[in-house]
Amino acid sequence: MAPTPLTTYRLKNQGRRIAQIVKLKPECVEKYKECHARVWPEVLKQIKDSNIEDYSIFHDPTSGTLFASFKYVGYNWAGDMERMRENPKVQEWWKMTDSFQESYVEGAKSSQDGEPAWWKGVEEVFYAP
């Protein structure tokens, strides 16, 4: 029997959970909900192609805060986010949705600009799988 060649494979990244916040302008709540009820297919595809899974956005009407939670399962966060920023449909989407928001990050100008980030990262203090 001939020896079998060694197969190289990469284990699936189990993922890193990420949470972020941004402020939703009170006069834009309904518009924001409407556009997210019909997210453009190109944007959804880019999210998936950027190795983002299990993505949710929550809204707290008392504080006006949007809370986003997702799992990043890729191996090159900076590269995946750069590809997302380069997508013309994502740029168009961000231009629309950023107009409904105010960043908590000092100096942030837009989602497109990258750094400083438009959405503020928040620390995970508890997790029970």
Query: Is 36 a known active-site residue?
Result: yes
Q: What share of the chain is helix, strand, coil (3-state, %, to 5)?
A: 35, 25, 45
User: Residues near 99 by Cβ (< 8 Å), separated by ≥ 6?
Assistant: 28
One-letter identity of residue 104: Y
Pull the structure tokens for residue 56.
């949710």
- Which residue in the list 17, 25, 33, 36 is annotated as catalytic? 36
Task: Give catalytic residues, as residue numbers.
Answer: 36
